[in-house]
Amino acid sequence: MIVEETAQKIRTMEIRGAGRIARAAAQALLEYSRNLHDRDLAGYCREIQRAADLLVSTRPTAVSLPNAINLVIKPLMNESVVEVAWKNLEERASGFIKRSEDAVSIIGALGARNIRDGDIILTHCNSEAALACILNAHQQGMNIEVYATEVRPRNQGHITIKTLSDAGIKTNFIVDSAARHFMKEVDLCITGADAITVNGSVINKIGTSQIALAAHESRVSFIVAAETYKFAPRTILGERILIEERTPDEILPPEMRSELRNVTVRNPTFDVTPADYVDLIITEAGVYPPEMAYTVIKEQLNWDNADLSTDYPYCEEE
């Protein structure tokens, strides 16, 4: 039940944002595991695998989701005693949740070092990690101002401006297409990431790449705040990140579409910003140029080739 409920909430975006999705999946596995203490090892593993498959199928782009699930369930393969299996799984799940929360605050502190007093910052979508940097700078007493985009079609910008406003940060709310118009007033762009590939490309909310391009044109720094579990190990094998395309209903209601017989509505949720347009990636393990993505995957995620053979499909696109 908990797994189905969480899966549904992720699918409908009641739970959204790559970090929150990952933590919710780990929490669902933890709670589900507690309900399975009466099973034998084979039955327990079967149920956990089924739950993991369901959770990982909910949204295809945020690599945090399969990374978190893999971390929690993969060592199950080596267990031979069911009590040890569920104890270890539950510890790994709660450990992941704690580390993920800690990572966001470390990123906030490191990110704030890249912000100067008086900076005007542009952010896009609603990223906990990106907001942590902005909030940390504000808490240190820096006088900063933010441009926050609306984020069509799901309006995640509304969540962002509420957080910024509640914190007492001067905020300008703009439509997505106004980002380039205002870029001349901006000192720094900060966004989050749903996935980062081995060549340093950043996959984030649709519109991010246009903002990065406009920032590049205006020589404005573009930095990405992302926990290390947003890096995509399987891109080492040349796999690409699958870009989620959601229902056209989010953009144009079916009754309007039915009158437009020659119109196809396309609704990609994320886009790819090439490494050339990214200055820095702020992680909990330090601040990296995008060119060092391979090092992060190898050294921080500790993924080896065996891990790359897992079934979770991370990829496809561009």
CA dist 231 → 24, 25, 234, 298 (Å): 18, 17, 9, 10
Taking the complex as a whole, the smallest distance from the CB of residue 245 to ligand RUB amounts, in Å, to 12
Q: Is residue 156 a contact point for ligand RUB (CB under 6 A)?
A: yes
Q: Which stretch binds ligand RUB (CB under 6 A): 35-43, 80-88, 190-198, 285-293?
A: 190-198
- 315 part of the active site: no
Q: How many residues bind ligand RUB (CB under 6 A)?
A: 18
Q: Is residue 129 a contact point for ligand RUB (CB under 6 A)?
A: yes
Order of strands, edge to edge, in the sheet holding 202-205? 195-196, 202-205, 270-273
Cβ-contact 26, 2 below 8 angstroms: no
Among 3, 6, 7, 18, binds ligand RUB (CB under 6 A): 18
Among 19, 60, 66, 200, binds ligand RUB (CB under 6 A): 19
Write the DSSP symbol of residue 241: B
Q: Is residue 195 a contact point for ligand RUB (CB under 6 A)?
A: no
Question: Which lies closer to ligand RUB via its Cβ, residue 128 or residue 239?
Answer: 128
Residue window 205-234: x/- pattern of binding to ligand RUB, with contact defined by CB under 6 A: x-----------------------------
Beta strand extents in the chain (DSSP E only): 120-123, 145-149, 170-174, 188-191, 195-196, 202-205, 221-225, 270-273, 280-283, 286-288
Among 70, 160, 201, 204, binds ligand RUB (CB under 6 A): 204
Q: Is residue 17 a contact point for ligand RUB (CB under 6 A)?
A: yes
Q: Is residue 111 a contact point for ligand RUB (CB under 6 A)?
A: no
Among 128, 150, 271, 279, binds ligand RUB (CB under 6 A): 128
- CA-based angle 48:53:55, to the nearest 5? 95
Question: Which lies closer to ligand RUB via its Cβ, residue 94 or residue 163?
Answer: 163
Residues in contact with 84: Cβ distance below 8 Å, sequence separation at least 6, in sequence order: none
What is the spatial distance between Cα 136 and Cα 144, in angstroms, rounded to a whole number?
11
The pair of three-digit structure tokens given for residue 95, joined into one six-digit string: 């450990």
Dihedral of alpha carbons 204, 208, 209, 212, sign = negative
Taking the complex as a whole, the smallest distance from the CB of residue 83 to ligand RUB amounts, in Å, to 34
The active-site residue, picked from 119, 133, 189, 194, is: 194
Dihedral of alpha carbons 64, 65, 68, 74, sign = negative
> Phi, psi (5° rounding) for residue 169?
-95, 130
Question: Which lies closer to ligand RUB via its Cβ, residue 271 or residue 279?
Answer: 271
- 166 part of the active site: no
Q: Is residue 269 a contact point for ligand RUB (CB under 6 A)?
A: yes
Q: Which residue(s) pair with 123 in the sheet?
A: 148, 190
Which residues contact ligand RUB by CB under 6 A?
16-20, 62, 125, 127-129, 156, 191-194, 204-205, 269
Positions annotated as catalytic residues are 125, 194
